[in-house]
C-alpha cells in the first residue's frame, strides 16, 4: 500500500466515525518514533473518538507497518493551539489568532482575517503560503477571566 493509499484508508476510517482528518505526522522525539493522526469534528473531539479510531487503524498498521522499526501510534485532536501546515488549515482557521514565521525570519502575530488564493491576511499584513516557514494558532489567555 502506498503512502497516499494509506492516508486515504485512514481518512475513510476517520470520516466513518464522524470526524475529519486534520493531519498525519511522523516524528522522532528522543529515541521514540511517533505516527500521529490528528482528528477534528464540530464541537470537539473526545477520548471515545480517539480510542475508536485508534482501534480501527491499529490492525491495519499491523499489516501495512507505515513506519520502519518500533513506533507509537497516537490518535488525538490537534489541540486549540495547533500547527497550520496546509492551505486548508488556514482556510478553516479564519477568525482565529495565529503566529507565523516567514522563510526570511519575519514574525507575524494577529487575527487571520482571510486566506484567499494562497495569501494569508494577518492583521494588516499579507503573506503568501509558500513564504511561511511555520505557523500555528494561539489563544490569548489574557482575555479570559477565570473564577478565583
Query: Looking at the domain that runs over 3-76, which CATH code has it been given?
Result: 3.30.300.70
Tens-digit pLDDT string for the chain (148 aa): 788 888 999 999 999 999 999 999 999 998 889 999 999 998 899 999 999 999 999 998 888 777 778 889 999 999 889 999 999 999 999 999 999 999 999 999 999 999 999 999 999 999 999 999 999 999 988 777 777 6
Please provide residue 100's backbone torsions phi and psi, each rounded to the nearest 5 degrees.
Answer: -130, 140
All CATH 3.30.300.70 domain ranges of the chain, comma separated, are: 3-76
Chain length of the chain: 148
Q: Which element (helix H / strand E) includes 72?
A: strand 72-76
Pull the grid cell for residue 41: 469534528
Q: Which three cell numbers stand for residue 47?
A: 477520548
Q: Report yes or no: 119 and 128 within 8 Å, Cβ to Cβ.
A: yes
Distance CA 122, CA 115 (A): 9
Q: Is 57 exposed, middle or buried (0-12, 13-18, 19+ CB in 10 A)?
A: buried
Cell of 127: 503573506
**In the chain, which segments carry CATH 2.30.30.100?**
87-143
Instruction: Write out the CATH class of domain 87-143.
Output: mainly beta
Closest CA to 89 of 140, 23, 44, 139: 23
Amino acid at each position: 500500500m502506498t503512502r497516499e493509499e494509506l492516508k486515504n484508508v485512514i481518512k475513510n476510517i476517520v470520516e466513518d466515525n464522524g470526524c475529519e482528518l486534520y493531519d498525519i505526522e511522523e516524528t522522532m522525539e528522543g529515541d521514540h518514533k511517533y505516527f500521529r493522526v490528528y482528528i477534528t469534528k464540530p464541537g470537539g473531539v473526545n477520548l471515545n473518538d480517539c480510542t475508536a479510531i485508534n482501534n480501527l487503524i491499529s490492525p491495519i498498521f499491523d499489516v501495512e507497518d507505515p513506519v520502519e522499526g518500533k513506533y507509537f501510534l497516537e490518535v488525538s485532536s490537534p489541540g486549540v493551539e495547533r500547527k497550520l501546515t496546509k492551505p486548508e488549515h488556514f482556510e478553516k482557521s479564519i477568525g482565529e489568532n495565529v503566529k507565523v514565521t516567514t522563510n526570511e525570519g519575519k514574525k507575524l502575530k494577529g487575527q487571520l482575517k482571510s486566506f484567499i488564493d494562497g495569501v494569508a491576511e494577518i492583521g494588516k499584513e499579507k503573506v503568501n503560503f509558500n513564504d511561511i516557514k511555520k505557523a500555528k494558532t494561539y489563544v490569548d489567555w489574557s482575555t479570559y477571566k477565570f473564577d478565583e
